[in-house]
């Protein structure tokens, strides 16, 4: 296809690629290249870059102009796109085959003004780090006035945009001004100054402020602020690394992501954006991670590229009623300069790349993210949420690095297009759990006993991947070690354990037995429950003395330890309180719903309908009908509800389900009427059944010839967790009796060990076997073990990219061998080594109906291939074997070929990217020559030479059933490829 036709055909996709980020950088870089290649003249550029014109309008005008200039200009334009766009966007466009080669223009015999045009891309890059110096040189030479300086240095522009504005102004000043710019660049290069970074000498008052800010940040960060209770835990003593992963694949990352890589360039998907999102579920450790970053910066141990770090709490920003400027936001909410406030703020504006902002808990804002209200001036006052949204999207303080934490549910596509990258925080790894427990207990014997108890209860071990639950379990070690066979199984069990722990530590001598501990403190539970319930219903998570008094919360209630004084609110006039953790507030709200006689009968139905309300922006009204009129007037938010409400309501609903389980109903015997509890149990059961049916009804009818498939949403997983918390097999069985699908897809649903436990509890009641797809989650070895109870209803199991090791496979295969339906497994991109192949070999020997084994992108070598071959010799059913992206080399390929040479079942074999050479190819040729079933052989990206291909050609002469042998990217010349293709068209190069 000609370049001109391609520009027309993919016009929509090109517009999207140029404009979807919301930044003009891609378009402006393309314009730079077209100017330098002399495909655009200066008048063309000016016609497009009209100030105030919308980005999409500029991009459309450029496409129209390029199309009218013909095929050659279109080819250069496509080449510019190919150079400018990130890999992900470039792959979506068909740019290969019709792009011109970009060339450097000769600099001899042209003017300085022309040089600024023909070398524009590289000059823009060079100027970004020395704009002030260039402006000063132009001012000294008399070419630039203070007005010109201000025009270039507008803070709404990125450094690259400032460089372009400088060049545009220079062109209007004439040849001598252009000469000054080129001379300045040359002098800096000759003097050895890097052009990417200016020499920096901060003002004296700035350095004093930096020291004061560091001291303030250190003081706020040195003790653990989350779930610390009445005791203070040193962050140094207790901090344990969580599992950090990029939300997208990145070849640059090998192994776990480090703290400093959060703000680094690794994994960047949008180079024009400044905001990094760290997302994770409630209790995954987001706030603690930021706190650790703050402390390391304040001590000079990390992030030293940033001279200033400003930490913000969105929970605190929620309570800010005033309109503020960026300057007010920085100095009033973080640290006030003793003097020279304007000078310090100007330094921040002039050097944004030296500044880091962190915003903890974006999901806690009462306003949902919006880019409707654009704000560009850092001294203009506006509501805090508008300031925050403009900071995130880059309209304000462009160039400042921002790190934002949030739960995944609050992050929609509108926000994601403004992100530099997204990082997932997935709680503790198994080794992280061990590390945290050992840090929590100074007595090694106690730590060992707690860990021993955890490792004998996989359900509880799975729960401890959440740092907040791991803390509860560690805190309640005496209750844990004394519970024998009654060890906690559900999240509700764990929170009831911490409730009992705190209450019995208040009045241990008055405890009246196994059930009396709750009755003794019932009034306190009612008071805190009412406070939590009304707070959840009105998105209130910080409470004043008045709030506490309204709900009857006394000083004695506070002393129990569930409420702590908020660090996010100034306490000059009155104290403010919050629950130890937001999940603790949800738990007390659930206690209120279960125990109170005064809640409206619609409370439970409304609570379990939050997944619908999220879509219609009504989630904030869920509890409004249940609150008193006074509470509604005091707490009702004035703007649209945030996505934060729905997750908290769902957590509350999960706790309600658990508290109403048969296992816990005896707790309520002396607290409320049995009839009332039974009525609420029936309500929850109906809600869960209704919710599941709604999901099942949404399943589309299958395309003819395909299996019926259900792609489950996170709301479905939540309902599953609620059913598990109730521990009611009857409800699970009833729900699954109505699910009639062949394939259940739960990819990218944040499935960890906890969710695996719940899935197994419910899915084991399926009437018919299904394919269970759990790709791109966090299952891990513990999660694999939790799935075993439902393995008998899985005819196929897909676990791509789930951090699974050989130990998880050992347990999975031991169970799978016993399951009649289990016939397919896919495990690519995990942590498997040669040790796992022994187990798969046993599987292949034992199950003569096993069909598909895919182990791509792991760490299997030739030794592993040899072990696998021992099982393949006995398999008479295997149809698909995928080992791409491993290291089996020739020796492994020869072993596999020997085992599969006479196979009558194998249809497809992939050894892509395995370092296989011609010796391996010649051995594999024997499969083609002798197997009566094989149809496809994939040998792309190996080291096969002409000799190996000739062996394959000879083998293909004996087999007409083979459809294709894929050989792209091997050690063959273009001439050899052409020759071999003519000899055998089934070879695909």
| pLDDT one-digit tens code per residue, 205-257 | 888 999 999 999 998 888 886 655 545 678 888 999 999 988 887 655 666 78
pLDDT digits (tens, 9 = 90+) for 706-725: 778 888 877 899 999 999 99
Per the CB < 8 A criterion, the answer to whether 359 and 274 are in contact is no
As a CATH number, domain 698-831 is 3.80.10.10
pLDDT digits (tens, 9 = 90+) for 390-404: 999 888 898 899 999
Average pLDDT over residues 762-768: 93
Assign 106 a pLDDT band (cuts: 50, 70, 90): low
Per the CB < 8 A criterion, the answer to whether 30 and 81 are in contact is yes
Give the residue among 68, 84, 74 at the shortest CA–CA distance from 33.
Answer: 84
Give the residue among 315, 126, 320, 294 at the shortest CA–CA distance from 216.
Answer: 294
**Diameter over CA atoms, the chain:** 98
Q: What pLDDT score was predicted for residue 976?
A: 92
pLDDT of 485 over the 70 cut: no
More confident residue, 154 or 542: 542
Per the CB < 8 A criterion, the answer to whether 675 and 683 are in contact is no
More confident residue, 319 or 570: 319
pLDDT of 4 over the 60 cut: yes
Q: How far apart, in whole angstroms, are the C-alpha atoms of residue 948 and residue 922?
A: 5
Q: What pLDDT score was predicted for residue 400?
A: 93
Average pLDDT over residues 815-837: 96
Assign 413 a pLDDT band (cuts: 50, 70, 90): confident
Q: How far apart, in whole angstroms, are the C-alpha atoms of residue 53 and residue 58?
A: 7
pLDDT digits (tens, 9 = 90+) for 23-61: 788 888 889 998 888 888 888 888 898 887 888 888 888
Per the CB < 8 A criterion, the answer to whether 878 and 850 are in contact is yes
Q: How far apart, in whole angstroms, are the C-alpha atoms of residue 860 and residue 878?
A: 19
Give the residue among 663, 656, 666, 655 at the shortest CA–CA distance from 514.
Answer: 666
pLDDT of 918 over the 90 cut: yes
More confident residue, 634 or 67: 67
Give the residue among 94, 116, 177, 108 at the shortest CA–CA distance from 142.
Answer: 177
Q: Residue 264, Cβ neighbours under 10 Å: how many?
A: 16
Q: How far apart, in whole angstroms, are the C-alpha atoms of residue 939 and residue 924?
A: 10
Q: How far apart, in whole angstroms, are the C-alpha atoms of residue 44 and residue 46?
A: 5
Q: What pLDDT score was predicted for residue 409?
A: 80
Q: How far apart, in whole angstroms, are the C-alpha atoms of residue 147 and residue 131?
A: 15
Per the CB < 8 A criterion, the answer to whether 720 and 759 are in contact is yes
Average pLDDT, the chain: 86
Assign 483 a pLDDT band (cuts: 50, 70, 90): low
pLDDT of 417 over the 90 cut: no
Q: What pLDDT score was predicted for residue 88?
A: 60
Q: What percent of the chain has pLDDT over 70?
A: 89
Tokens of 714: 């996170």
Average pLDDT over residues 491-500: 92
Q: What pLDDT score was predicted for residue 781?
A: 94
As a CATH number, domain 243-425 is 3.40.50
pLDDT of 275 over the 70 cut: yes
Highest average pLDDT, of 119-123, 521-525, 640-644, 841-845, comes from 841-845
Give the residue among 719, 714, 765 at the shortest CA–CA distance from 738.
Answer: 765
Assign 125 a pLDDT band (cuts: 50, 70, 90): confident
Give the global pTM: 0.77
Assign 382 a pLDDT band (cuts: 50, 70, 90): very high
Q: What pLDDT score was predicted for residue 369?
A: 82
* Range 839-989 has CATH code 3.80.10.10: yes
Measure Cα distances from 537 to 67, 85, 130, 566 in Å: 56, 45, 53, 20
pLDDT digits (tens, 9 = 90+) for 870-904: 999 999 999 999 999 999 999 999 999 999 999 99
pLDDT of 970 over the 90 cut: yes
Q: What pLDDT score was predicted for residue 609?
A: 80
Assign 657 a pLDDT band (cuts: 50, 70, 90): very high
Q: How far apart, in whole angstroms, are the C-alpha atoms of residue 879 and residue 408?
A: 39
Average pLDDT over residues 924-940: 94
Average pLDDT over residues 484-500: 85
Per the CB < 8 A criterion, the answer to whether 462 and 753 are in contact is yes
Per the CB < 8 A criterion, the answer to whether 651 and 575 are in contact is no
User: 698-831 and 839-989 share one CATH topology?
Assistant: yes
pLDDT digits (tens, 9 = 90+) for 497-543: 999 888 887 665 454 455 577 888 899 999 999 999 999 988 888 89
Q: How far apart, in whole angstroms, are the C-alpha atoms of residue 454 and residue 71?
A: 68
Q: What pLDDT score was predicted for residue 252?
A: 59
Provide the phi-psi class of 537: left if phi over 0, else alpha when psi is between -120 and 50, else beta: alpha
Provide the phi-psi class of 803: left if phi over 0, else alpha when psi is between -120 and 50, else beta: left
Q: Where are the domains of the chain?
A: 3-200, 243-425, 430-518, 521-659, 698-831, 839-989
Helices vs strands, H then E, count in the chain: 48, 22
Locate tokens 């037995």: which residue? Answer: 513
């Amino acid at each position: 296809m000609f370049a001109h036709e391609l520009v027309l055909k993919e016009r929509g996709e090109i517009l999207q690629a140029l404009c979807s980020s919301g930044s003009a950088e891609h378009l402006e870089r393309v314009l730079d290249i077209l100017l330098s290649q002399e495909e655009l003249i200066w008048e063309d550029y000016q016609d497009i870059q009209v100030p105030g014109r919308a980005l999409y309008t500029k991009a459309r005008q450029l496409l129209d102009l390029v199309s009218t200039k013909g095929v050659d200009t279109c080819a250069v334009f496509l080449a510019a796109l190919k150079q400018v766009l990130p890999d992900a966007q470039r792959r979506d466009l068909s740019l290969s085959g019709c792009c011109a080669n970009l060339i450097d223009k000769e600099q001899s015999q042209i003017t300085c003004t022309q040089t600024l045009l023909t070398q524009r891309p590289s000059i823009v890059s060079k100027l970004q780090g020395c704009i002030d110096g260039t402006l000063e040189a132009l001012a000294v030479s008399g070419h630039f006035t203070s007005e010109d300086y201000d025009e270039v240095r507008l803070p709404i522009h990125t450094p690259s945009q400032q460089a372009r504005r400088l060049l545009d102004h220079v062109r209007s000043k004439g040849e001598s001004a252009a000469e000054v710019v080129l001379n300045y660049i040359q002098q800096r290069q000759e003097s050895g100054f890097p052009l990417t970074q200016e020499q920096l000498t901060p003002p004296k008052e700035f350095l004093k402020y930096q020291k004061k800010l560091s001291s303030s940040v250190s003081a706020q960060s040195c003790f653990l602020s989350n779930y610390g209770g009445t005791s203070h835990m040193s962050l140094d003593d207790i901090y344990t690394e969580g599992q950090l992963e990029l939300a997208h694949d990145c070849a640059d990352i090998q192994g776990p992501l480090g703290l400093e890589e959060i703000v680094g360039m690794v994994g960047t998907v949008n180079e024009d954006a400044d905001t990094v999102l760290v997302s994770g579920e409630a209790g995954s450790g987001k706030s603690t991670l930021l706190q650790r970053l703050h402390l390391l910066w304040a001590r000079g141990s990390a992030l030293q590229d940033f001279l200033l770090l400003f930490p913000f709490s969105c929970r605190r920003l929620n309570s800010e009623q005033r309109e503020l400027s960026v300057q007010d936001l920085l100095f009033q909410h973080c640290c006030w300069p003793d003097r020279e406030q304007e000078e310090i703020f100007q330094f921040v504006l002039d050097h944004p790349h030296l500044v880091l902002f962190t915003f903890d808990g974006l999901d806690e804002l009462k306003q949902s993210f919006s880019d409707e209200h654009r704000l560009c001036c850092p001294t203009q006052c506006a509501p805090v949420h508008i300031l925050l949204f403009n900071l995130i999207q880059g309209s304000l303080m462009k160039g400042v690095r921002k790190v934002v934490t949030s739960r995944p549910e609050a992050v929609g596509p509108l926000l994601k297009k403004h992100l530099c990258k997204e990082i997932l925080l997935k709680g503790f790894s198994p080794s992280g759990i061990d590390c945290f427990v050992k840090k929590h207990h100074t007595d090694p014997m106690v730590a060992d006993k707690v860990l021993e108890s955890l490792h004998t209860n996989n359900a509880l071990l799975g729960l401890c991947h959440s740092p907040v639950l791991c803390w509860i379990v560690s805190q309640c070690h005496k209750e844990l070690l004394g519970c024998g066979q009654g060890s906690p199984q559900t999240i509700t069990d764990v929170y009831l354990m911490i409730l009992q722990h705190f209450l019995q530590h208040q009045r241990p001598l008055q405890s009246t037995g196994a059930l009396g501990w709750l009755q003794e403190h019932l009034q306190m539970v009612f008071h805190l429950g009412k406070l939590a319930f009304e707070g959840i219903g009105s998105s209130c998570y910080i409470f004043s003395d008045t709030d506490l008094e309204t709900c009857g919360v006394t000083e004695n209630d506070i002393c129990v330890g569930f409420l702590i004084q908020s660090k996010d609110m100034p306490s000059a006039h009155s104290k403010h309180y919050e629950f130890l953790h937001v999940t603790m507030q949800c738990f007390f709200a659930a206690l209120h719903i279960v125990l109170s006689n005064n809640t409206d009968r619609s409370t439970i139905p409304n609570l379990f309908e939050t997944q619908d309300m999220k879509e219609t922006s009504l989630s904030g009204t869920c509890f409004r009908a249940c609150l008193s009129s006074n509470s509604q007037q005091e707490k009702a938010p004035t703007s649209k509800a945030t996505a934060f409400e729905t997750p908290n309501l769902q957590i509350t609903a999960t706790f309600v389900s658990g508290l109403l389980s048969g296992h816990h109903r005896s707790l309520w015997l002396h607290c409320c009427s049995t009839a009332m509890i039974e009525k609420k149990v029936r309500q929850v059961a109906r809600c869960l059944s209704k919710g599941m049916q709604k999901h099942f009804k949404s399943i589309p009818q299958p395309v003819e010839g395909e299996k019926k498939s259900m792609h489950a949403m996170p709301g479905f997983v939540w309902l599953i967790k609620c059913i598990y918390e109730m521990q009611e097999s009857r409800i699970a069985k009833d729900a699954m009796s109505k699910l009639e699908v062949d394939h259940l897809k739960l990819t990218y649903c944040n499935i960890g060990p906890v969710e695996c436990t719940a899935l197994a509890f419910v899915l084991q009641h399926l009437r018919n076997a299904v394919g269970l797809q759990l790709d791109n989650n966090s299952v891990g070895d513990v999660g694999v073990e939790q799935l075993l109870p439902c393995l008998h209803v899985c005819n196929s199991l897909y676990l791509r990219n789930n951090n699974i090791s050989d130990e998880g496979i050992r347990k999975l295969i031991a169970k799978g061998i016993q399951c009649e339906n289990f016939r397919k497994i896919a495990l690519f991109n995990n942590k498997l080594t040669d040790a796992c192949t022994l187990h798969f070999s046993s599987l292949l020997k034992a199950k003569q109906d096993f069909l598909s084994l895919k182990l791509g992108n792991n760490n299997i070598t030739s030794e592993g291939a040899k072990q696998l071959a021992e099982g393949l010799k006995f398999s008479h059913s295997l149809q698909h074997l995928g080992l791409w992206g491993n290291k089996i080399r020739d020796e492994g390929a020869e072993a596999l070929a020997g085992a599969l040479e006479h196979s009558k079942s194998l249809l497809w074999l992939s050894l892509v990217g395995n370092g296989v050479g011609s010796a391996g190819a010649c051995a594999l040729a024997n499969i083609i020559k002798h197997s009566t079933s094989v149809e496809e052989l994939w040998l792309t990206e190996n080291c096969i030479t002409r000799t190996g291909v000739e062996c394959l050609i000879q083998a293909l002469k004996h087999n007409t059933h083979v459809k294709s042998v894929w050989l792209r990217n091997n050690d063959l010349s273009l001439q050899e490829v052409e020759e071999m293709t003519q000899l055998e068209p089934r070879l695909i190069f």
